[in-house]
Amino acid sequence: MSTPTKPVKTTGRPVRALAILAALIVGLLATALIQGATSVRLGLDLRGGTSVTLQPRASNDSNKITSEAIDQAVSIIRQRVNSLGVAESEVTAQGSGTNRQIVISVPGDSGRRVVDLVGQTAELRFRQVLAESSALGGSNASAATPAAGVSPEINAKFAALDCTNPASLQGTGADAPTDVIVACSRTGSSKYILGAAEVLGRQVSKATAGIDQQGASAWYVLLTFNGEGTKAFGNITARVTSLASPQNQVAIVLDGLVVSAPVIREAIPSGNAQITGSFTQVEAQDLANVLKYGALPLAFDRGEVQQVSPTLGADQLHAGLLAGALGLGLVLLFSLLYYRALGLVTVGSLAIAGAILYLLFLVLGKSIGFTLTLAGIAGAIVSIGITADSFIVFFERIRDEAREGRSLRSAVESGWARARHTIIVADMVSILAAVLLYFFAVGGVRGFAFTLGLTTLIDLLVVFIFTKPIVTVIAKMNFFASGHPLSGFSAKSIGKSHPATALEA
């Protein structure tokens, strides 16, 4: 802390710091250009859209909330949301470990359906295949040979089913277990008529993907049923295995879509089955996951649903920007009035901080999907104050040192040595607050914490590699060093008790 008045070193260093700053800004700009990021990604509250926050809840005693289960739920919900075909829909888990919420965001007007779509806990079911067709387009011509036990009504529905239409692949979960249903395969590559459900997802006790080491390294899925399931699965396999294709297949149906429809080679009374096929590793693991978790592995409480119309979004964006401009204007005005020419350094520093922040918004939008929300804008505006605070701490320190009778050049150096400590400690507290807010919060709060933390870091950076070097440079200028009335360092304005003893400028 103690800083004796050693010979003031002013050459070289400020220039180097400013060069680093310039390199940083150019680097960010180049990154943004290369990424093709031209505008800041706006959150739903600024451009309109629907967001749904789901709170996981164990659906029954055996179903604990695990991190794995949440991941699985996210990927199932993502699949459902993506089937809506709305660009830039997002499904993310926020929080940490098992204490996470799932947040679904769908921009624009089409978000309405999302609310109904997600969070349904559809169940995994095993159904006998009654008919299969790879003729995907819907047609009104009835299928040539109605399968046994299929009503003409279902047959007509089957014929009309169009699996090339994304709407058919949405997965409704509206498949009553006792009904005969028509369904598309998940990939949309074939369509089926399926019998009533005979084995349920909760009767599966274990499912794992494995690789056959001896043969052609084929991936397979091993399936184990519980007591109830073993009996039911034994019955269905014994019945269908001797039937003609396609009725010797058992479809695994999730969410009203056929995940897989393996041919049953033999009756399987043991409760242990192996599903083989030309699986890739990913496919085998996906299938095992689906089997293991049934459907959504968790039940969800609908935490919050928020729909913002594009009009309100535009209003909020407008208001946020206006508040920012107003706040910035007032801070600059105050700085100039109080610190005179020195206030220009504040203006410059805030401009640099603003430029870096904007470029980071661009780059982070592309690289980590950062979106700017209203709370984020508020965080940025609030941080104008924090950033300007550091300058004040620094400037007042310089004035203190000057009051002691130091020359401006020496006051800048010794004032900086002391102000630096204060600024670092104070900013660390702010960053601490931002980090904790980020980890303990959901949704809007996180956006606020993120921008607050980011801007505090930028503040530290700017103070070190812009504000300080610039002040060092201007301290050499006669206008400031001689204490010109407009410089912010006049004897009158700082109330120096010893009139300019050390003005060896």
Partner 1 sequence: MAKFSGLGGRLYSGETSFNIVEKRKRWYSISALFILASIAALVIQGLHLGIEFKGGASYTLNKPSVTVEQARAAVANIGIEGEVIVQKIGTTKVRIQTGAVSPAQSQAIETALTSTFGVSAESIDTQLVGPSWGKEITKKALYGLIAFLLAVMLFLAMAFEPKMAIAAIVAVVHDVFITVGIYALVGFDVTPATVIGFLTILGYSLYDTVVVFDKVRENTKSVAANSKMTYSQAANLAVNQTLVRSANTSIIALLPVGSILFVGAGLLGAGTLKDLSLALFIGLAVGTYSSVFIAPPFLAQLREKEPAMQALAKRVSARGGAPVATEMKAVRPSTGSGPRNQPKRKGRK
- Within residues 92-151, the interface with partner 1 by CB under 8 A covers 101, 109, 112
Q: How far is the CB of 62 from partner 1 (least distance, A)?
A: 22
Q: How many residues bind partner 1 (CB under 8 A)?
A: 88
Determine the Cα angle at 314 with ends 310 and 318, to 5°: 170
**Binding status of residue 55 toward partner 1 by CB under 8 A:** yes
For partner 1, the closer of residues 193 and 378 by Cβ is 378
Which of 331, 460 has the CB closer to partner 1?
A: 331
Nearer to partner 1, 197 or 350 (CB): 350
Tokens 């104008």 -> residue:
384
Q: Which of 305, 355, 473, 477 touches partner 1 (CB under 8 A)?
A: 305
Concatenated DSSP letters of 273-319 = EEEEEEE-HHHHHHHHHHHHH-SSSSEEEEEEEEEE-HHHHHHHHHH
Residue 185 or 349 with smaller CB distance to partner 1: 349
CB of 173 to partner 1, least distance (A): 15
Q: Which of 3, 29, 45, 13 is closest to 466 using CA atoms?
A: 13
CA distance 374 to 43: 8
- For partner 1, give the closer residue by CB, 268 or 388: 388
Of positions 326, 367, 486, 503, contacts partner 1 by CB under 8 A: 326
What is the contact mask toward partner 1 in residues 387 to 406, using x (rule: CB under 8 A)? -xx--xx--x--xx--xxxx
Interacting residues of 27 by C-beta distance below 8 A, sequence separation 6+: none
For residue 306, the minimal CB distance to partner 1 (Å) is 5
> Alpha-carbon dihedral of residues 356, 361, 367, 369, nearest 10 degrees?
160
User: What does the block give as tokens for 287?
Assistant: 């299938």
Nearest distance from C-beta of residue 370 to partner 1, angstroms: 18
Q: Shortest approach of partner 1 to residue 14 CB, angstroms? A: 22
**326 Cβ contact partners less than 8 Å away, ≥ 6 residues apart:** none
- Residue 107 has phi, psi (to 5 degrees) of -75, 165
**211 vs 319 by CB, closer to partner 1:** 319
Is the CB of 259 or the CB of 417 nearer to partner 1? Answer: 417
Neighbours of 139 (CB within 10 A): 11
Q: How far is the CB of 65 from partner 1 (least distance, A)?
A: 13
> In this structure, are residues 288 and 210 in contact, taking their beta carbons and an 8 Å threshold?
no
Residues pairing with 258 in the sheet: 185, 253
Question: How far is 120 from 181, CA to CA, in rounded Å?
Answer: 19
439 versus 479: smaller Cβ distance to partner 1: 439
Tell me the per-residue interface mask from 207 to 236 with partner 1, x by CB under 8 A, - otherwise: ------------------------------
Considering beta carbons, is residue 203 or 335 the nearer one to partner 1? 335
Q: Which of 147, 332 has the CB closer to partner 1?
A: 332
Q: How many CB atoms lie within 10 A of CB 321?
A: 13
Cα–Cα distance, 3 to 49 (Å, whole number)? 57
Shortest distance, position 179 Cβ to partner 1, whole Å = 24
Helices (H) and strands (E) in the chain, counts: 15, 12
The closest of 272, 263, 269, 273 to 243, measured between CA atoms, is: 263
Interaction mask 353-382, partner 1, x per CB under 8 A: ---------------------xx--x--xx
According to CB under 8 A, which one of 29, 259, 493, 505 is a site residue for partner 1?
Answer: 493
In angstroms, the CA 401 to CA 407 distance is 9
> Is position 68 an interface residue for partner 1 (rule: CB under 8 A)?
no
Q: Which is nearer to partner 1, 158 or 448 (CB)?
A: 448
CB 260 within 8 A of CB 279: no
Interaction residues for partner 1, span 24-53 (CB under 8 A): 45, 53
Smallest gap from Cβ 396 to partner 1, in A, equals: 4
The tokens describing 77, both together, are 């919900």
Q: Site for partner 1 (CB under 8 A): which residue of 152, 166, 495, 499?
A: 495
Does residue number 497 form part of the binding site for partner 1 (CB under 8 A)?
Answer: yes
Minimal distance, residue 119 CB to partner 1, in Å: 11
Is cis: bond before 246, omega within 30 of 0?
Answer: yes
Q: Which parts of 432-461 interact with partner 1 (CB under 8 A)?
A: 432-434, 436-437, 439-445, 448-449, 452
**SS3 (DSSP) at 430:** helix
Q: What residues form DSSP beta bridges with 169? A: none
- Report how far apart the first and last C-alpha atoms of the chain are (Å, whole number): 27
User: Measured from the CB of residue 172, what is the shortest distance to partner 1 in angstroms?
Assistant: 16
Nearer to partner 1, 229 or 488 (CB): 488
Give min distance, CB of 94 to partner 1, in A. Answer: 11
